[in-house]
Chains A and B, each alone.
Chain A
Amino acid sequence: MRPDDATLTREGLAPSGRGRVLLIACGALAREILALIGQNGWDHLDLHCLPAILHNRPDRIAPAVEAAVIARGAAYERVFVVYADCGTGGDLARTCERLGVGMVEGPHCYAFYEGVADFAEKGEVTCFYLTDFLARQFDAFVWTPLGLDRHPELRAMYFGNYTTLVYQAQTDDPALTALAQSHAERLGLGFERRFTGYGDLAGALARA
């Protein structure tokens, strides 16, 4: 059964208990990881997602990952962490190194969807990125936590220096594209859709 976004945001996803390699991932990547596992027949991978809302509290990511590795890792041959740095300032990489587990390269999921090297080269500092998951969960991750539901007048203080909302599409979904475009309008930003597919995520999981 496909996990719903609200559960992935607040609770995450428990592992199935099958497979030799445990993926400990951000809940925002659950659907994409499950799709890749299904497409490639990677039955050796089991997926455990932490609540995606940790995205908004990067200081809590490394401790949460460490707790998950300690709690669940012993039941598997190895563990692979499907987070990028995600604003932890290197904390997550240091934690993974200490625990002897691998993790995905790059600063954010925005970077590995687009390809870490391409993303860095573009250097689009005035772009605000949404993935499929974040487009669906825009209110929970952006609009409400920033108080824009209660105080839309704060919009310029948050987004006045941005120019464009870039929607990195993992799937072809016209309804989701329209939704992402409506988010751009709410933020007063230009809109660009880029189809990225799963980007570097597929390669990272193949090596997990």
Chain B
Amino acid sequence: MADEDDDLILSELDDEELVAQMFDDLYDGMRDEIMEATQILLDRGWAPYDVLTKSLVGGMTIVGNDFRDGILFVPEVLLAANAMKGGMSILKPLLAETDAPRMGKMVIGTVKGDIHDIGKNLVAMMMEGAGFEVVDLGINNAVEAYLEALAREKADILGMSALLTTTMPYMKVVIDTMKEQGIRDDYIVLVGGAPLNEEFGRAIGADAYCRDAAVAVETAKDWVSRRHNQMQAGA
């Protein structure tokens, strides 16, 4: 940031100015400042959910848009995510105690043979930010791990990620196994990863391909609400 910000005292800013400053600090990946500002808003009586959505998610959405538009690159997005994680670490225990909306539950993991988790971690973080409960299976997941977690967690959504062209076909193995077991339509299946595209998502039988974390959140919200409406119509 510019020198003029070096003397900035966050606690002296009013709420609107502070949220605007948090957007800037997230953009610049300033974790300590984000944690300090998160605590200031909480101390001022903000609900944890409002701090999350109005400052952290709002700021991260700008980061995501600029990444999509080629203005920011992966290192900057990771720094921003790291800053957001700092704020989330304060908010998460509080969110669990409050009446923050529950959007649904997602099981997410990188597929077998693949250890790349940057994109998957971003999606998990943004899904949590949007009010989804996320069960992160980590990397290198076999079909059995996905299916066991979906059943155990009574999840709504399965998210699969892959970075390698050699591992992305494994997503079809998982979906085909779900079909064989007659459970495919019990879940919303979202897929993502750098080498994927919409055509691949359709070809393997996923519900949607998500280009980035922001799209994953919007797609998940859309599908969950569609399902909810279907269930109501069928009731």
Contacts and interface: CB of A to CB of B under 8 A. Distances in A.
Interface residues of A, number: 21
B23 to A, nearest CB: 20
A154 interface: yes
Contacts of A88: 165
Interface residues of B, number: 24
A157 interface: yes
Contacts of B195: 58, 87, 89
B165 A161 contact: no
Given A123-B113, A126-B115, A147 B73 contact: yes
Nearest to B117: A161
B118 interface: yes
Nearest to B29: A151
A76 interface: no
A154 to B, nearest CB: 5
Query: For the complex, would chain A's binding face be called helix, strand, loop or mixed by DSSP majority?
Result: loop
A188 interface: no
Given A87-B164, A161-B115, 6 more contacts: A89-B168, A89-B195, A154-B75, A154-B78, A157-B118, A161-B139
17 contacts: A85-B165, A87-B195, A88-B165, A89-B165, A89-B168, A89-B200, A107-B164, A107-B165, A123-B113, A146-B75, A147-B74, A147-B75, A151-B29, A154-B78, A157-B82, A157-B121, A161-B117
Interface of A: 58, 85, 87-90, 107, 123, 125-126, 146-148, 150-151, 153-154, 157-158, 161-162
